[in-house]
Copies of this chain bind each other. A is one copy, B any other.
Amino acid sequence: MVERKGLDEELSAYGKRIRQTIEAFLERKKHELESANWLGKDLTERLRRFSTGGKLIRGSLILLTHDMLSSKLEDDFSAAGLQSAGCEAVAAAYELIHSFLLIHDDIMDRDRFRRGMPSIYFQYQTIIEENSRGNGLHEAEGLGICAGDVAFLLALELLSTAAAGVYPEKTMKILLLWSRELSRVGVAQMQDVFFSTWQKEASESDIISLYRFKTARYTFSVPFATGSILAGSEAHITENLLDLGEHYGMIYQLVDDKIGLFGEAEKIGKPVGTDLQEKKQTLLHHYLYHLATAEQKQNISKILRKDRITGQDIVYIRSTAIKNGTVQRVEEAILEMKKKAEEMLKDLPVTQEYRRILGDMLEYSIKRER
């Protein structure tokens, strides 16, 4: 058998280019923002560490999709060079937007750690605690709100400078795509906050809409469509990719739900049952409850009311999820979406090589254990 380059390796080559673009841009901005005040300079340094600390999957998908759809361009070396710098700027901009959303999300969820480092607002809280009276949570949150806003503004600056390589028409189209899609991400996040506050049970369609906008379109559809716009594809191809991305994203989210309950702590990097502990309204939890017998319902409710969920509780939930058909239901949904995605893949105007990569991504996102 011929050895094939792994998917991870392909994506990590893109990741490296994006990381370099972010670093060079923030290095330049560091000096510019220093002219406003020292907090500006300090922030660019924090943003550099934070935004290059992730896997840069979304930006990498942009570059992959661009390359996949625009092999023609490679003939003209100098145009390809300019184009490529522009594409990297766009991909880096989307990653900075991702950082912006994470920075704000961490404030709302009071998550103190992210990407193996303190979250941005918590970094500020630590500084305030050391230098001032009180715990400074409110002020730290204020600084975190601003930091997220500035990350977004830096992303927009990067997007607008990309225009040198990829034409203003394209960057304007991308701005339209991003602003439309991200306002729905924002509204989906509001729904998330809302459900946690009202402690109301979300309906199946509420959860699906959350998965669609907050995860699937944001993580897969938008990067696919952005790459497609950069490659100058026809509108119907961009539309198809938005649709394909939704399927990839829904599968990704459903597998996440499954791993959250059945995964191994060492692999997923957090205790098993964290979703249960946090009373997350996942589709799996929804099915688990609605497919349960009266007795199972009683037991599940009792477990969910606990402050601390034990290993024994998790064993019970796992076996119930298998017995009452929850796991089967989730797996069927995954397989159905996989089938549809594979159909869509056949129609994409790309080489066999890229079709294979996209197929691998699909397989990987289903089989992954973390």
Contact = CB atoms under 8 A, between A and B. Distances in A.
Interface of A: 29, 32-33, 36-37, 39-40, 43, 104, 107-108, 110, 128, 131-132, 136, 138-139, 141-143, 145-150, 152-154, 156-157, 159-161, 163, 168-169, 171-173, 175-176, 178-180, 182-184, 186-191, 193-194, 196-199, 206, 209, 213
A342 to B, nearest CB: 27
B183 A154 contact: yes
Given A39-B191, A136-B197, A153-B186, A159 B175 contact: yes
19 contacts: A39-B194, A40-B183, A104-B146, A108-B145, A139-B196, A142-B193, A143-B190, A143-B194, A146-B186, A150-B186, A150-B187, A153-B179, A156-B178, A156-B179, A157-B176, A160-B175, A163-B172, A168-B168, A171-B172
A189 B107 CA distance: 18
Closest 6 pairs between A and B when the two form their complex, measured CB to CB: A40-B187, A108-B142, A156-B179, A157-B179, A168-B168, A153-B183
Given A29-B183, A145-B148, A172-B172, 19 more contacts: A37-B190, A37-B206, A37-B209, A39-B190, A39-B194, A104-B145, A108-B142, A108-B145, A149-B186, A150-B183, A153-B179, A153-B186, A154-B179, A156-B156, A157-B180, A159-B175, A163-B172, A168-B168, A168-B171
Interface centre among A145, A147, A189 (most CB of B within 10 A): A145
Nearest to A206: B37
A157 B187 CA distance: 15
A209 B36 contact: yes
Contacts of A197: 128, 132, 136, 139
A160 B110 CA distance: 34
* Copies of this chain present: 2
Contacts of A209: 36-37
Contacts of A163: 172
B150 A152 contact: no
A220 B139 CA distance: 28
A182 B156 CA distance: 11
Contacts of A29: 183
A287 to B, nearest CB: 21
Contacts of A168: 168-169, 171-172
Contacts of A182: 149, 153
Nearest to A175: B160
Which one of A148, A159, A173, A193 has the greatest number of beta carbons of chain B within 10 Å?
A: A193
Given A33-B184, A168-B169, A160 B179 contact: yes
A304 to B, nearest CB: 17
A332 to B, nearest CB: 26
